């Protein structure tokens, strides 16, 4: 009898929730960054590569002696630089956002490996760094389950939650947020109101890319404490899907990232429970299958930014 309910008992275990929030953190950053880019009308498929760059740069900086927060900042700056490259190609030049984005991902991923090998040519297994430690919020962390899941995380996780609130506020409550929305909905209208469409789109892509890179940096600076090849492992692509799931809203992006991470954490525990009777790849597939199902249900009534993926050229009708 006991084993038949074990699949439910996973939910009562605080470590499950802690893992879910931890797994969600890079997805929150990535999705948030992609939301900012796409709200301004630019699809950024460079996300996978930009996360890789963020992961490598943040970790490498700390390994070379920089402080943890300087590492995060450096990762954000490098991510922003690749965002700037993407923006330059897609906004003023109006190139295909798909092709450019895939190019950025390939370039950034290979460059990360190259720089890694350049700096550490002899190393066989990547060195570990002294990473971010969990930071308990006094009082709140003693709430059962919720407290442990939400208030015993590393600082970058708190930063992710705060970022969601800040981005939502900026997007919906400030003039610059309105401008970002407008260039993604109707750039001609933005220009007719005297705004510089190129500048706003570029700025949004740079800012969004910086968030993506911080998401990557979380993996090497808060989770695995080292940089491996192929460590982003499709997280960037998941973020692209989560943006649609979230209907381009920061709050829903947080929800989507948590939901996906919970599936992921759950399947890992389920694997251990079931053992070798079922091939473990089935469980690895589960979060992705569920995310496709969720997309089908959710994206039926989404209002995507009207000018998404449409280059804007001034003076062209």
Partner 1 sequence: MRNVVKRSEIDISEKQAAAEVVLRLRGITKVFGSLVANDDINLELKSGEVLALLGENGAGKTTLMNILFGHYVADSGSIEVFGHPIPQGSPHAAIELGIGMVHQHFTLADNLSVLDNVMLGTEPLWSLSSNRRASRIRLEKLGERFGLQVNPNVRVAELSIGERQRVEILKALYRNARILILDEPTAVLTPQETGTFFETLKKMVSGGLSLIFISHKMQEVLAISDRVVVLRDGRLVAEIKTADASETELAQAMVGRNIELPERKALKAGESVLKLKSVTVKAEDGRAALSSVSLDIRASEIVGIAGVSGNGQTAIADLISGLFEPQSGTMELHGEVVNNFTPRNMLRKKVGRIPEDRHSQGLIGDMTLAENSISECYREPQFSSYGWQNHLNRQRFAENVVSKFDVRGYSANSPVRLLSGGNMQKLILGRVLSGNPQLILANQPGRGLDVGAVAYVHEQLLVARAKGAAILLISEDLEELLQISDRIAVIHRGRLSETFPRESISIAQLGLLMTGQQKSSTTNNQSTEADAS
Question: In angstroms, rounded to a whole number, what is the distance separating the alpha carbons of residues 9 and 18?
Answer: 15
Indicate whether 194 belongs to the interface with partner 1 (CB under 8 A): yes
Minimum distance from CB of 280 to partner 1 (Å)? 44
Cα three-residue angle 65-227-253, rounded to 5 degrees? 105
- Of the candidate spans 16-24, 81-89, 178-186, 250-258, the one that interacts with partner 1 by CB under 8 A turns out to be 178-186
Q: Using the rule CB under 8 A, which residue among 168, 179, 223, 294 binds partner 1?
A: 179
Cβ–Cβ under 8 Å, residues 179 and 191: no
* Per rule CB under 8 A, count of chain residues that contact partner 1: 24
Minimum distance from CB of 95 to partner 1 (Å)? 20
Q: Using the rule CB under 8 A, which residue among 190, 207, 241, 294 binds partner 1?
A: 190
Q: Using the rule CB under 8 A, which residue among 4, 173, 276, 301 binds partner 1?
A: 173
Q: Which helix (H) or strand (E) holds 209?
A: helix 197-218
- Of the candidate spans 50-58, 107-115, 190-198, 234-242, the one that interacts with partner 1 by CB under 8 A turns out to be 190-198
Cβ–Cβ under 8 Å, residues 46 and 232: no
Q: Using the rule CB under 8 A, which residue among 138, 144, 175, 275 binds partner 1?
A: 175
- Of the candidate spans 106-114, 175-183, 234-242, 267-275, the one that interacts with partner 1 by CB under 8 A turns out to be 175-183
38 CB-near residues (< 8 Å, 6+ apart): 44, 184, 243, 248, 304, 305, 308
Q: Which of 7, 51, 23 is nearest to 259 (CA)?
A: 23
What Rg, from alpha-carbon coordinates, does the chain have? 20
Between the CA of residue 201 and those of 2, 50, 167, 182, 227, what are the distances in Å?
Answer: 57, 18, 16, 10, 32
Indicate whether 186 belongs to the interface with partner 1 (CB under 8 A): yes
Q: Using the rule CB under 8 A, which residue among 88, 95, 102, 191 binds partner 1?
A: 191
Residues at the contact surface with partner 1, assessed by CB under 8 A: 173-176, 178-179, 181-182, 185-186, 188-196, 303, 305-306, 314-315
């Amino acid at each position: 009898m006991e084993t038949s309910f074990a699949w439910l008992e996973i939910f009562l275990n605080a470590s499950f929730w802690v893992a879910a929030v931890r797994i969600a953190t890079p997805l929150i950053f990535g999705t948030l960054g992609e939301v900012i880019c796409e709200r301004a009308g630019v699809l950024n498929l460079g996300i996978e590569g930009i996360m890789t760059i963020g992961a490598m740069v943040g970790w490498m900086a700390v390994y070379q002696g920089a402080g943890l927060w300087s590492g995060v900042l450096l990762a954000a700056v490098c991510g922003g630089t690749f965002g700037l490259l993407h923006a330059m190609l897609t906004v003023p030049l109006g190139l295909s956002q798909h092709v450019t984005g895939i190019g950025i991902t390939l370039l950034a991923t290979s460059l990360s490996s190259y720089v890694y090998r350049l700096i550490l040519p002899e190393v066989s297994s990547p060195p570990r760094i002294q990473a971010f430690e969990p930071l308990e919020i006094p009082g709140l962390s003693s709430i059962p389950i919720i407290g442990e899941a939400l208030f015993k995380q590393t600082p970058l996780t708190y930063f992710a939650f705060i970022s969601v609130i800040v981005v939502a506020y900026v997007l919906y409550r400030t003039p610059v947020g309105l401008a970002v929305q407008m260039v993604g909905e109707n750039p001609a209208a933005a220009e007719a109101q005297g705004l510089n469409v190129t500048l706003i789109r570029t700025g949004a892509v740079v800012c969004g890319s910086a968030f993506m890179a911080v998401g990557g940096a979380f993996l090497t600076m808060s989770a695995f404490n080292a940089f491996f090849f192929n460590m982003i492992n499709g997280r960037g692509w998941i973020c692209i899907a989560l943006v649609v799931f979230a209907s381009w809203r920061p709050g829903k992006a947080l929800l989507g990232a948590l939901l996906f991470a919970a599936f992921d954490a759950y399947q890992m525990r389920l694997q251990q429970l079931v053992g070798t009777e079922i091939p473990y790849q089935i469980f690895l597939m589960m979060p992705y299958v569920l995310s496709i199902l969720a997309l089908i249900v959710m994206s039926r009534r989404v209002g995507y930014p009207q000018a998404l993926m449409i280059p804007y050229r001034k003076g062209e009708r």
